[in-house]
Amino acid sequence: MSAMLLNKEKWPDFVGKLTGKQLWAPQIKDEQLRFAPVAEGEEPALDYKNTRVPPKNVVFPQTETLFRFQVDGEEVDEPKLDEEVVLLGVRPCDARSMVIVDKLFSWDYDDPYYARRRELVTMVGLACSEPGLNCFCPSVGGGPASTEGLDLLMVDLGENYLLEAITEKGEALINETKELLEETRDANLEQKEKVINEAAQKIKRSIDPEGIPVGLPGLWEDSLWQRVSASCLGCGTCTFLCPTCHCFDIQDETEGFESRRCRTWDSCMFEEYTLHTSGHNPRPSRLERTRNRINHKYNYYVDKFDVIACVGCGRCINLCPVNIDIVEILKQVKEAL
Amino acid sequence: MSANNEPNIVAFLCNWCSYAGADLAGTSRVHYPSNVQVIRVMCTGRVNPLYVMNALQQGADGVLVSGCHPGDCHYMEGNYYARRRLGMLKDLMEFVGVDPRRFHMSWVSASEGHKWKEVVEKTVEDAREAGSFEGFRRRQIDW
Amino acid sequence: MDLEKLRETAAEVVAREDVKYLIGWKNGSYGYRVAPAFIEDAEGAAELIFSPLCISNLSTYLTLVEKLPLPRGQEPDTRKIALMVKGCDSRAVTQLLVEKGIERDGVVVIGCPCPGMIDYDLLAEKYPETEGLSEVKWTDDGFLVIRDGEETNVTRDELLAEKCRLCRYPNPLISDIMLGEPVETWEPAEDKGVEEVDKKDVNGRWAYWEEQFSNCIRCYSCRNVCPLCYCQDCILDRLNPTWVNRAVNFSENTAFNIARAFHLAGRCIECGECERVCPANIPLGRLNRKMAREVRDKYGFEPGLDPEAEPFQASYKPDDPEDFIL
């Protein structure tokens, strides 16, 4: 796979070339950084740590119509998914999260909607040179320049971006924009190593997950769950903003005779999530729900797919309104083992 | 709003006064606009503000709530509660940017067939001026 | 406030036999974070703090704790919950008493007169958070930010939270134990946020809220954090009838936000928690404050002041304004 240089002066042209396709990139909208479609002439904001909401809604929209139908009809009308999307400026952790979620959506049953959207997306990553305060990706198998899930990785080398193709899709993207790119020199590759090493040095938080997946079942009745869940509000901030959280709810929405079946994100932190028709709730309080969140990420998922369902992006720590800190919880878990 | 620019109005009428008033308008052959879909409730006091929201979401361009005059409520005080609640709702909707012409409340007694006609005419006229309320429709099914 | 005295008082309170635990504030895990603390013994009481970072309203935990069915033969725990409150939080407690959401005998209210809290976002923007714990203290005319051992004096105006600029009740209105002397109240600032929206025309307001509500991700943190949103069966969770669809789009988000604001009209005590916790930065406080202002101006009612008052939406006056009626 090839590696090329893109001078930052040519950046607008590079973006211009891509806007022919549906281009999503971080942009500041309503004073907030988020992934949004880039219109012609607009420029993505790349000087950022990470977006508040992960780009997972590009492949797994918060609300997705599965099909439409008439209540008295016999036909269903399915969505046509054929628009190619380029996701520009994805952080390596968010790209990695998609690889992790892929395992679930292609497990016992292939989810056609998710699979199709995944096929249509080209992921152009941007390695972190200034990691955030709560990043801990190296602890869970990632890194500031991890290429997992990416088609193309960009590394900021000051004056230039280094573009490295990871997959065929990435290679194709390089070919498309060839006239804007320059050949790399050995010095560039050394510079890249330096940037990445420096970034890794800047990551302050860490946990050692060794022993946690096997140890968690033994802590089922431990008092630590009471301690860490006491302040939980039961809101969905941590799960909705988590790049690997993938739970959904399916509803039929009917207006008159027109109906659609849609799926929306759901959160295991909601009381309604496990509520049975009978009124019984197997996870009746915030304690069980918090325990489930940690267990799902660090135990069940590891059991099933051999990977921790947490990429260490730190969003749940940043935005929890009551400072429930997953690193602290895991430290307590380690102590209790 | 229908194709010929006629607004859809949903009216919640209390069983004891306004519904009878609207009935009287009918039996007295008073002509009033036919845009109104009447929903009979036992008392305006049981009109949940969410009824108003849901009506607007599901295709109404205007909503009318009508009940007994203050002091005349069949249940003594239901309309007083409604007045306070729906007054608040009107303020809130106005702050959110829902045109105040889309929501009205009135007192129409069982003997006021002509007042009913005036109220409906005013509601329809206001909703027509405010225009179609597509922006808030539930049926924005996007793929 | 004297922290020694606070911790001493807290230790005494939790030592009481009729007190189950005390809810207060403690240092969080890093930076400027402060976390709610559930204290059961003297050791825990030593962790308590009260600083300009203790902006969260802890009274929400009074109704948040699940009332699970008890195993046969087990007696319910009827011990009291002790709670640290600022001025605004104490109004939430009063409003809960008005609505009979809690019983007066069930709580021990520890009042903390509040000179004004810091806006976390403003603080973190000017003085970025570090991985170590930072401290903020009140000074005579502002705040002292201690970050990595480096001390910075900041004026009060620079960092004061919006809700505190508008605050009219910095001293707890209800308390069993008062910590420290009452603070001097200040002239509440003009509510620029509400004004900004108010002066737009109706279409401008719709456009403004359309932009805001479109960002809503429906995590319901605004509902959950609110001390006065404690219905066992919330209309937003209802499926039959489905008042608000689960789909996340502008129409449903708007319906949800209007419903939420409406249910708080005449009940909201303006603690600003909804706005603080919103991950989408929707200025929810503007909706609530607007309604609170309408209720005050038009109906002469203010929630959370008098535990004997009638709940606003469950009462009426024969001469309530009716200028909007045709």
Partner B contacted by C309 (CB < 8 A): no
ipTM of the complex: 0.91
Polymer length of chain A: 337
Residue C237 has pLDDT above 90, yes or no: no
Q: Mapping DSSP to helix (H, G, I), strand (E, B) and coil, where does residue B88 land? A: helix
Contact B98 C210 (CB under 8 A): no
Contact C217 A267 (CB under 8 A): no
pLDDT mean over C131-154: 91
Q: Mapping DSSP to helix (H, G, I), strand (E, B) and coil, where does residue C39 land? A: strand
Are residues A197 and A218 located together in one domain of the fold? no
Mutate to test the interface with B, among C251, C263, C284 (most CBs of B within 10 A): C251
> In chain B, which stretches have pLDDT less than 50?
143
Give CA–CA dist B118/A178, Å, rounded.
72
Contact between B78 and B67 under an 8 Å Cβ cutoff? The reply is yes
Most distant pair of Cα atoms in chain B: their distance: 52
Q: What is the pLDDT of residue C238?
A: 84
Give CA–CA dist A17/A11, Å, rounded.
10
Chain center to CA of C162: 13
Q: Which of A53, A233, A234 sits opposite C217 (nearest CB)?
A: A53
Contact B105 C203 (CB under 8 A): no
B-C C-beta contacts closer than 8 Å: 113
Residue C111 has pLDDT above 70, yes or no: yes
The reply to whether A323 falls in a domain is: yes
Distances, alpha carbon C43 to alpha carbons A228, C8, C12, in Å: 17, 11, 12
Domain boundary among A155, A183, A202: A202
Comparing CA positions, the residue from C52, C185, C174 lying closest to residue C122 is C52
- In this prediction, what percent of chain C has a pLDDT beyond 90? 82
The reply to whether A277 falls in a domain is: yes
Contacts of A329 in chain C (CB under 8 A): none
> Alpha helices of C58-181 — where are they, by DSSP H?
60-64, 87-98, 120-126, 156-159, 162-165
Which residue in chain C is spatially nearest to B67 when comparing CA positions? Answer: C325
User: Phi, psi at residue A71, to the nearest 5°?
Assistant: -60, -40
Q: Which of A230, A317, A323 sits opposite C34 (nearest CB)?
A: A323
Contacts of B58 in chain A (CB under 8 A): 255
Q: Residue C161 corresponds to which tokens in the numbers above?
A: 């939270």
Number of domains in chain A: 2
Contact C326 B87 (CB under 8 A): no
The reply to whether A66 falls in a domain is: no
Nearest-neighbour CA in chain C from B27: distance (Å) = 23
Q: Which of B92, B135, B136 sits opposite C291 (nearest CB)?
A: B92
Chain C contact residues (CB < 8 Å to A): 28-31, 33-36, 38, 56, 60-61, 64, 66, 68, 129-131, 211-212, 215, 217-221, 223-225, 237, 245-249, 273, 276-277, 279-281
Q: What is the pLDDT of residue C69?
A: 87
Q: What is the pLDDT of residue A48?
A: 81
Using CA of residue C193, residue C194, residue C196, residue C202, what is the dihedral sign? positive
Q: Which C residues 260-289 touch B at CB under 8 Å?
A: 261-262, 265-266, 287
pLDDT mean over C172-186: 92
Other Cβ atoms less than 10 A from the Cβ of C183: the count is 16
- Tell me A21's DSSP state: S
Partner C contacted by B92 (CB < 8 A): yes
The reply to whether A22 falls in a domain is: yes
Domain boundary among A152, A184, A202: A202
Mutate to test the interface with C, among B75, B84, B86, B140 (most CBs of C within 10 A): B84
Give CA–CA dist C212/C253, Å, rounded.
10
Are residues A193 and A287 located together in one domain of the fold? no
Q: Which of B85, B98, B105 sits opposite C324 (nearest CB)?
A: B105
Domain boundary among A137, A172, A202: A202
Q: Which of C29, C68, C215 sits opposite A323 (nearest CB)?
A: C29
Are residues A20 and A160 located together in one domain of the fold? yes
Contact A68 B142 (CB under 8 A): no
pLDDT band with cut points at 50, 70 and 90 for residue C8: very high
Burial C204-229 (b: 16+ CB within 10 A, else e): ebbebbbebbbbbbbbbbbbbbbbbb
Q: What is the CATH number of domain B9-126?
A: 3.40.50
Contacts of A258 in chain B (CB under 8 A): 139, 141
pLDDT band with cut points at 50, 70 and 90 for residue C61: very high
Comparing CA positions, the residue from A322, A302, A300, A325 lying closest to residue A312 is A325
Q: Which of A79, A253, A255 sits opposite B143 (nearest CB)?
A: A79
Q: Mapping DSSP to helix (H, G, I), strand (E, B) and coil, where does residue C104 land? A: helix
Contacts of C198 in chain B (CB under 8 A): 95
Tens-place pLDDT, residues C42-57: 999 999 999 999 999 9
Contact between C248 and B135 under an 8 Å Cβ cutoff? The reply is no
CA-based R_g, chain C, Å: 21
Phi and psi based region of residue A153 (left: phi greater than 0; alpha: psi -120 to 50; beta: remaining): beta
Are residues A161 and A216 located together in one domain of the fold? no
Tens-place pLDDT, residues C248-292: 988 999 999 999 999 999 999 999 999 999 999 999 999 999 999
Contact B142 A65 (CB under 8 A): yes
| E-state strands within C33-129 | 34-39, 48-49, 80-85, 107-111
User: Phi, psi at residue B134, to the nearest 5°?
Assistant: -60, -30
Contact C320 B89 (CB under 8 A): no
Which residue in chain B is spatially nearest to C323 when comparing CA positions? Answer: B87
Give CA–CA dist C311/A139, Å, rounded.
52
List chain B domain ranges.
9-126
Q: Which helix (H) or strand (E) holds A182?
A: strand A181-183
Contact between C204 and C135 under an 8 Å Cβ cutoff? The reply is no
Q: What is the pLDDT of residue B2?
A: 64
Give CA–CA dist B120/A14, Å, rounded.
60
Phi and psi based region of residue B71 (left: phi greater than 0; alpha: psi -120 to 50; beta: remaining): left
Contact B81 C290 (CB under 8 A): no
Q: Residue C232 corresponds to which tokens in the numbers above?
A: 């066992």
Residue A142, domain extent? 3-58+71-202
- Tell me A299's DSSP state: I
Contact between C255 and B133 under an 8 Å Cβ cutoff? The reply is no
Residue C6 has pLDDT above 60, yes or no: yes
Are residues A134 and A247 located together in one domain of the fold? no
Are residues A262 and A165 located together in one domain of the fold? no
**Bond prior to A55 in cis (omega within 30° of 0):** no
Q: What is the pLDDT of residue A63?
A: 92
Mutate to test the interface with C, among A273, A322, A328 (most CBs of C within 10 A): A322
DSSP character string of A53-112: S-GGGGTS-SEEEEEEEETT-S-EEPPP----EEEEEE-HHHHHHHHHHHHHHTSSS--H
Q: Residue C19 corresponds to which tokens in the numbers above?
A: 């007190």
Distances, alpha carbon A317 to alpha carbons A135, A328, A329, C37, in Å: 9, 10, 11, 17
Are residues A120 and A259 located together in one domain of the fold? no
> In chain A, which stretches have pLDDT less than 50?
none
Q: Residue A33 corresponds to which tokens in the numbers above?
A: 């950084």
Comparing CA positions, the residue from A207, A264, A267, A205 lying closest to residue A233 is A267
The reply to whether A64 falls in a domain is: no
Nearest-neighbour CA in chain A from B96: distance (Å) = 18
Q: Residue B96 corresponds to which tokens in the numbers above?
A: 């959110």
Burial bucket for residue A40 (CB in 10 Å: 0-12, 13-18, 19+): exposed
